[in-house]
A = this chain, B = another copy of it.
């Protein structure tokens, strides 16, 4: 199962303005990760964090991957990472368990195969949008953070004007965040 998993401000941003390699979350965007201070707690934020860590493959967009310093080749516990990109420079071999993939359906298929009976985690607005457009997303977990950022990069953007119906699975409230999980209805 493929799960989009993103921390998002109430106004829809996953990264603040002017994101770059030097400032991967954009100006002020790390505000969205304050809730991760509770990742080791017994509360809801700990629960959803531990769930995310049980995923056994990752799909991410190239921009997210580069801005995160290619995660030094390891996102969590050495799970395979499939990095969606339009173009691969000759000789550019990503580190660790990462591979570049140029086709979204191929990325989804390979990630699901790698994950076996566990879930695939998707990080990054670009990868999320590509998978949503292709109808390949099973669930969406939004960590809705109690802040308006005003500007930045949006989680949901550049999608066609078509309904995607969602079925709510779970709502968990914790310090600074509401964790909302939905199933994508197909």
- Our pick among B28, B149, B161, B178 for the contact of A17 (Cβ within 8 Å) is B161
- For A144, the chain B residues whose CB sits under 8 A away are 180
A38 at the interface (CB under 8 A from B): no
- For A159, the chain B residues whose CB sits under 8 A away are 11, 148, 150-151
- For A16, the chain B residues whose CB sits under 8 A away are 161
A154 to chain B, nearest CB (A): 7
Residue pair B151, A160 in contact (C-beta under 8 Å): yes
A31 at the interface (CB under 8 A from B): yes
A19 to chain B, nearest CB (A): 12
A124 to chain B, nearest CB (A): 16
- Our pick among B27, B148, B161, B168 for the contact of A132 (Cβ within 8 Å) is B148
